Amino acid sequence: MAPFQYLRHSPAKSFPLLLALSALALASCTAAPSPAPPSSAPSSGASPTPSASTTPAPPSASPSPDPGSRPLGWGPEQRDEDAAAAAVAAMTPEQKAGQVLLPFFKGNQVEAQAALIQRLHLAGSIIMGDNVPRDPQGKVDVAAMTALNQRLLQAVAADGRRWPGIIAVDQEGGMVARIGAPLTEWPAPMSYGAAGNEALTREAGKGLAGELVPLGFNLDFAPDTDVTIGAQDPTIGARSMSADPAAAATQGVAFSQGMLAAGVMPTVKHFPGHGSVTTDSHLSLPVQPAGVDALQARDWKPFQAAAAAGLPIAMTGHIAVPALEPGVPASLSAPNYAALRSLGFKGVAVTDALNMGAVDKQYPAGTAAVKALTAGADLLLMPADVEQAHAAILQALASGSLPAGRLDEAARRVATLMTWHARTAPAAGAPGAGTPAGSGAALSTRVSASAVTVLAGPCKGALVPGSVRVAGGGPGDRERFEAAAARAGLTVGSGPLVSLIGYGGKPAGGDIAVALDAPWPLQDSTAPVKLALYGRSDAAFDALAAVLAGKAPAPGKLPAAVGPYPAGTGCA
């Protein structure tokens, strides 16, 4: 999903697999169930330019999780499945249709949303940026946010369900963070790929999720496990952890396991992979030209690892894959859901937001919801009009175009997920449930300090004398830099020029170029010293200032190629 809003040919040897996937898709529909800046394609291994005092090395990645070891993964017991099946069997069609819909609402219309949840029997709600209550200083009003979520949960409970409602949010870190200060500000997810520390990534996932629990959130549409291709990727960018499939898989699973340990359900996204297409699905439909073999070798690796680790939720993206079903968004394509299930995924498949341009332009007035559900989706996120979507599902069910067994299967999966979660996760407000707002600040600092990467320039000693100048960046970036410089003992006003390159920024000159988000703009920078920071939080700027002052090393390694600098470039 996009940073700001949700409107956030196959090789011959693959043909037998496609036939199998199609057969599985057909069976699943009829049987009762059992923002980021642009970037460059990774370079073919060119060495850094002569000015770089860096050591290329492959990004670190551990083996994929052992499928038999699932201490923190999807683990419903038979009692959870039995309870969910019994509850769904007793539901009316109207209740089942509501159970698979997760809507949004506008602004502060909380009471209207609560009434709609109860009337249409909806699964819960997602909270977007414009729903977040704020205090006079513009910070999140934590007490009001908690009360808002509790009101929505009350609406679900009033409908008579035996499991809690879904209260979801988009909180990845970096550019995608609906809930800001006083909660901890986290750097871009690419930081985890640059740091290459699985334990640190798991700890960060737990820290981020832990602060959501006291507010009443139980599901986060994170982490993004897309494998980026670099400067040609206009949508994912620094939201991706790595261009290396194994590293993206390892780091994505680790972050997810940390979230589960804190009591928040993670969501790996966006299957079949959004980091390798060159169109933004928020605006129009991207086409993935790769065949199944290529997808299995690259984009699907993190999702296969997620399935092996037993992670509970996977999001499907609005991407057309001709090798699976030409012209149809994967989120609405039966062969795509069959492909996801063929990887061993047993959890809930949720669509990306159905009000995005890639879907809403072609499938208006509830048709997208019906098509996605029929294809194999279990949870339908943010239909443009949830009442139309609910009515369309009932109409398709009555006409027979939506098999009753498919709706039952989807509703059972969602009910099983929430039954299991309610049994295993501590309730908000219970002893040991969650962590206070802002408690992850020190950990966020460790992440940024572990990720900052030198592409070109010295690896030891101070990079600047006692004073520097600063230019570029976005709103507030220079102010944050100046404050961090002061904390590191640097003055601002004279000396080498540090050029900050923010989200969507252009290549910069000066003496030191610093990419604050994805590192791709550094490939065209003329600065002799180039640093990738992957974040613009206070903690990230502190990490930068410490490196500039020579008070800390820059241990990060490029998780993706940047022009002549191959993946793995960084100080030894």
Residues labelled catalytic:
282, 352
How far is residue 337's CA from residue 351's CA, in Å, rounded to a whole number? 10
How far is residue 287's CA from residue 320's CA, in Å, rounded to a whole number? 5
Which residues pair with residue 227 across a beta bridge?
242
Preceding peptide of 270 cis, ω within 30°:
yes
Q: What element of type H or E holds 512? A: strand 512-515
How far is residue 496's CA from residue 512's CA, in Å, rounded to a whole number? 7
C-beta atoms surrounding 456 within 10 Å = 23
Over 314-354, what HEC string results? EEECCCEECCCEEEEEHHHCHHHHHHHHHCCCCCEEEECCC
254 close to 313: Cβ distance less than 8 angstroms: no
| One-letter amino acid of 259 | M
For residue 230, give both structure tokens: 């670099």
How far is residue 142's CA from residue 4's CA, in Å, rounded to a whole number? 21
Nearest C-alpha neighbor of 267 from the set 303, 234, 314: 314
How far is residue 188's CA from residue 543's CA, in Å, rounded to a whole number? 14
For residue 247, give both structure tokens: 């590293």
499-532 burial, b for 16+ CB within 10 Å, e for fewer? bbbbbebebbebbbbbbbbbbbbbbebebbbbbb
182-212 burial, b for 16+ CB within 10 Å, e for fewer? bbbbbbbbbbbbbbbbbebbbbbbbbbbbbb
For residue 566, give both structure tokens: 């191959």
Tally of residues, the chain: 572
How far is residue 534's CA from residue 550's CA, in Å, rounded to a whole number? 19
For residue 517, give both structure tokens: 């988000």
Burial status of residue 322 (CB atoms within 10 A of its CB: 0-12, 13-18, 19 or more): middle
Q: What element of type H or E holds 453? A: strand 453-456
| One-letter amino acid of 421 | H
366 close to 344: Cβ distance less than 8 angstroms: no
| One-letter amino acid of 145 | M
How far is residue 212's CA from residue 189's CA, in Å, rounded to a whole number? 17
C-beta atoms surrounding 65 within 10 Å = 21
For residue 572, give both structure tokens: 């030894």
For residue 229, give both structure tokens: 């291709």
